Amino acid sequence: MTQPRDHGGGLDAAVGRYGGSRTSWVDLSTGINPVPYPVGPIEDGAWTALPDQAAMERLLTAARSFWKVPAEAQIIAAPGASALIARMPHVTGADRVYIPGPTYNEHAAAFRAASREVSDDATAPARVVVHPNNPDGRMWLADELADCSTCIIDESFCDIAPSASLVNLATRPGTIVLKSFGKFWGLAGLRLGFAIGLPETLGFGGPGESLADMLGPWAVSGPGLEVGARALEDTAWASDTRNRLALDAHRLDDLLLGRGARVVGGTDLFRLYEVDDAAHWQDRLAHGHVWSRIFPYSDTWLRLGLPGPDQWDQLEAALAGCGSRGPAGTA
């Protein structure tokens, strides 16, 4: 039986417990951009025809340009980063993996589901790092990964800091860089993700074991191809969005500091705070119909995504039941 996995989201359960409707809640339990890329009209053929190769090539060309992917590396598009994470144990062929934590738990779940050992030993033959890390925002340096013969680098949140990307390591045998489209562009429901690595790395094990074979034909929907390419080509939107996210992250910090929380990490898509009692804070916020993220391994960590433009007042009202208005930065 599949073990339940610890995630953000779960808004339906929160609504069932605290009342209201989905539309009356502010869901800050994920790190998804609350101001998504404007999708615009989609060609009828994207819905009615099987996705064609030209549309896929446009998407991959846009992805290569946006992320400055080295020429020798290959890019594979998939129906979401989660679909790629689930296949990493089979692509790498590793029977033992080291995943420095605490971090996003889907990687460990994927290796365990494939009957692979998740080890605390940093000398394990494979390593997974989340860059920047979720939930504390830690950034990894290339030198820290120099001794990894097999390395998966999950850059799902790295589009807020493109200069920090380790995509150049995708030219190293055994290294795969994963990209998520849903977070930065705010279109998680589109289900689009990318794997970047040398052709021989993405095709470990020969025919039938390659990542492309595992995903099968038409892995990305026609609308996904069209919207993804359009968004990746729109570099002006990306630049403006980074500026807005940085300002909103500072605004959120100011609000939480004013209630006695302390900033302990995060990115410009989510912030991590230390509070006296994380479960209590989540409960008080939920009474104001604001959903937050807490963690089974910490009684004091509270993670919040960024509110949308019309959601700040509701968050401020919900925060009235949390913490205390002590000096900024105190707990």
pTM: 0.93
- The torsion of the CA quartet 42, 47, 53, 59, rounded to 10 degrees, works out to 40
Q: Looking at domain 11-36+236-319, which of 3.10.450.50, 2.60.40.10, 3.30.420.10, 3.90.1150.10 is its CATH number?
A: 3.90.1150.10
Q: Looking at domain 44-233, which of 3.30.230.10, 3.20.20.70, 3.90.79.10, 3.40.640.10 is its CATH number?
A: 3.40.640.10
Task: Give the pair of three-digit tokens for residue 305.
Answer: 């995504």
Strands (E), 215-328: 262-266, 270-274, 290-291, 293-295, 298-305
Nearest to 288 by CA among 312, 305, 272: 312
Instruction: Give how far Cα 232 sits from Cα of 68, 159, 176, 188, Å.
Output: 12, 11, 20, 15
Divide the 331 residues of the chain into consecutive groups of 10 and give the mean pLDDT of each group. Answer: 56 94 96 97 96 96 98 98 96 95 96 96 96 98 94 98 98 97 97 97 70 94 98 98 98 97 98 97 97 96 98 97 55 31
How high is the pLDDT of residue 180?
97
- Which residues, in sequence order, are CB contacts of 275 under 8 Å at separation 6+? 260, 261, 262, 281, 300, 301, 302, 322, 323, 331
What is the residue-wise DSSP string for 122-139? TTSSEEEEESS-TTT-PP
Each domain of the chain, given as residue ranges in start order, spans 11-36+236-319, 44-233
How high is the pLDDT of residue 9?
66
* Residue 182 and residue 192 in contact, taking contact as beta carbons nearer than 8 Å: yes
Q: Identify the helix (H) or strand (E) that includes residue 247.
A: helix 235-258
Q: What's the Rg (C-alpha) of the chain?
A: 20
Instruction: Give how far Cα 92 sits from Cα of 85, 149, 215, Å.
Output: 11, 10, 15
* Residue 77 and residue 228 in contact, taking contact as beta carbons nearer than 8 Å: yes
How high is the pLDDT of residue 204?
60
How high is the pLDDT of residue 327?
39
How high is the pLDDT of residue 326?
42
How high is the pLDDT of residue 10?
85
Each residue's pLDDT tens digit, 239-294: 999 999 999 999 999 999 999 999 999 999 999 999 999 999 999 999 999 999 99
